[in-house]
């Protein structure tokens, strides 16, 4: 087993979860200082106990940011105060409620036809990379519409958000950190400008934050996280979904015939087996014991969200859309911070899969080789999905 020499940023060798669960379910990684928690029951127990396990480190840069790079961020007024994912204080409840108002099940469902139209517009005949032509920008366009945010330069927003993911969850060199910080700073400045110009009477997220009297620093921090989390993850889901389902031509054929429930089942199975958010962090608030390992207060934990624990899922490595217990996965977290966009992400996955399969029943991957992968501490997905 390779648990003693883990490289959490190695795209070709993701952590050996089976080995970790069996031999070292709460494993200290000296390279990052993180404690890797890999058993489903432990991960769920941690997420379910916000008193013993705080979310404060959820958005902390895993590669330390040196002072000159911090100055780049500071000059842009950049800060990430506790708002949603990184907020263990009582202010979390009201901010969560405000954002949830934009993501009610009825509101999300009302976007189904729009998602199908946006998907259909992006489908062309001939060889194409479905990551670049479809998965990359569709979730961003959808999110802006769901949040009522208009006049957005989508390519710029995508560039800012991919840079931010790498800055906070990647392992960049110092030169690269400078570039990424400049981009993150630009994004933050744009948010601040938009928030300052927002009307409290507006029906958009910026207006709602202003109407509530949210200080600009807090509002910008919230929007920074939400505008990244609300679309980069779904881009990753769409790419993984298309790549993996296309590796099962029988499933693709059944999807093209519109078999009821199959698209939703494929989405769930991909979320379980290869979630876009592979890990999430917590911090112990007091000494605790997990799977027999004693942890001190202040221990940073890396929770493994991939749903392949054989204690929970039979034959966990197999791709079996429709397995009865698929929804037990933790791809959207659990408890107080459970993902607010789970319904929207599921809908986007389902509608896109159905739309593409119906339009191209004979679609296949251009190559059976594994695709190049995005591999950050917490995010993993194909970077291209070439098809013919």
Binding site for ligand HEM (CB under 6 A): 47, 55, 84-85, 96, 99, 103, 143, 226, 229-230, 233-234, 237, 275-277, 280, 305, 331-335, 337-341, 344-345
Distance of closest approach, residue 9 Cβ to ligand HEM, in angstroms: 19
**Residue placing its CB nearer to ligand HEM in the complex, 25 or 276:** 276
Question: Which one, 72 or 141, has the nearer CB to ligand HEM?
Answer: 141
β-sheet bridge partners, residue 129: 386
CA separation for the pair 144, 159 (Å, rounded): 15
**Of residues 181 and 244, the one with the C-beta less far from ligand HEM:** 244
The least CB distance from residue 147 to ligand HEM, in Å, is 8
Q: Which is nearer to ligand HEM, 19 or 81 (CB)?
A: 81
Closer Cβ to ligand HEM, 69 or 85, answer by number: 85
Task: Give the shortest CB-281-to-ligand HEM separation in angstroms.
Answer: 9
Q: Shortest distance, CB of residue 280 to ligand HEM, whole angstroms?
A: 5
- The token duo for 298 is 């202040």
Q: How far is the CB of 191 from ligand HEM (least distance, A)?
A: 15
Compare residues 69 and 136 and give the one whose CB is closer to ligand HEM: 136
Tell me whether residue 143 or residue 264 sits nearer to ligand HEM (CB atom): 143
Q: Which residue is nearest to ligand HEM (CB)?
A: 341
Nearest approach, Cβ of residue 44 and ligand HEM (Å): 10
Distance from the first to the final alpha carbon of the chain: 39
Smallest gap from residue 34 Cβ to ligand HEM (A): 16
Q: Is 247 exposed, middle or buried (0-12, 13-18, 19+ CB in 10 A)?
A: middle
Q: What is the chain's Cα-based Rg? A: 21
Task: Please identify, using beta-carbon distances, which residue of 166 and 348 lies nearer to ligand HEM.
Answer: 348
The least CB distance from residue 103 to ligand HEM, in Å, is 6
Residues 6+ apart with CB under 8 A from 12: none
């Amino acid at each position: 087993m390779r648990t003693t020499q883990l490289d959490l940023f190695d795209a070709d060798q993701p952590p050996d979860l089976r080995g970790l669960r069996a031999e070292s379910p709460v494993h200290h990684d000296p390279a990052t200082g993180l404690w890797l928690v890999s058993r489903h029951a432990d991960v769920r127990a941690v997420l379910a106990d916000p008193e013993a396990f705080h979310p404060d480190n959820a958005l902390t840069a895993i590669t330390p940011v040196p002072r000159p790079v911090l100055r780049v961020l500071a000059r842009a007024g950049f800060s990430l105060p506790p708002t949603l994912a990184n907020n263990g204080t009582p202010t979390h409840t009201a901010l969560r409620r405000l954002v949830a108002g934009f993501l009610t099940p009825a509101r999300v469902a009302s976007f189904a036809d729009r998602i199908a139209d946006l998907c259909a517009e992006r489908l062309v005949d001939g060889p194409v990379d479905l990551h670049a032509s479809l998965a990359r920008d569709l979730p961003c366009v959808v999110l802006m519409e769901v949040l009522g945010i208009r006049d957005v330069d989508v390519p710029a927003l995508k560039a800012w958000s991919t840079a931010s993911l790498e800055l906070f969850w990647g392992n960049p060199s110092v030169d690269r950190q400078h570039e990424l910080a400049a981009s993150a700073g630009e994004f933050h400045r744009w948010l601040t400008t938009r928030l300052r110009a927002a009307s409290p009477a507006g029906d958009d997220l910026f207006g709602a934050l202003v109407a509530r009297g949210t200080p600009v620093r807090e509002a910008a921090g919230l929007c920074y996280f939400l505008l990244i989390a609300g679309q980069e993850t779904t881009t990753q889901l769409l790419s993984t979904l298309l790549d993996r389902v296309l590796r099962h031509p029988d499933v693709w054929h059944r999807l093209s015939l519109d078999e009821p429930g199959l698209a939703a089942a494929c989405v769930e199975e991909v979320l379980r087996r290869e979630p876009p958010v592979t890990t999430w962090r917590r911090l112990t608030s007091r000494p605790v014991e997990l799977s027999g390992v004693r942890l001190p207060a202040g221990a940073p934990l890396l929770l493994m969200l991939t749903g392949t624990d054989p204690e929970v899922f039979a034959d966990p490595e197999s791709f079996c859309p429709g397995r009865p217990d698929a929804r037990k996965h933790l791809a959207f977290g659990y408890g107080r911070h459970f993902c607010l966009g789970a319904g929207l992400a599921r809908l986007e996955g389902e509608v896109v899969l159905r739309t593409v399969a119906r339009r191209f029943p004979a679609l296949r991957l251009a190559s059976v080789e594994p695709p190049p992968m995005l591999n950050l501490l917490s995010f993993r997905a194909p970077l291209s999905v070439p098809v013919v």
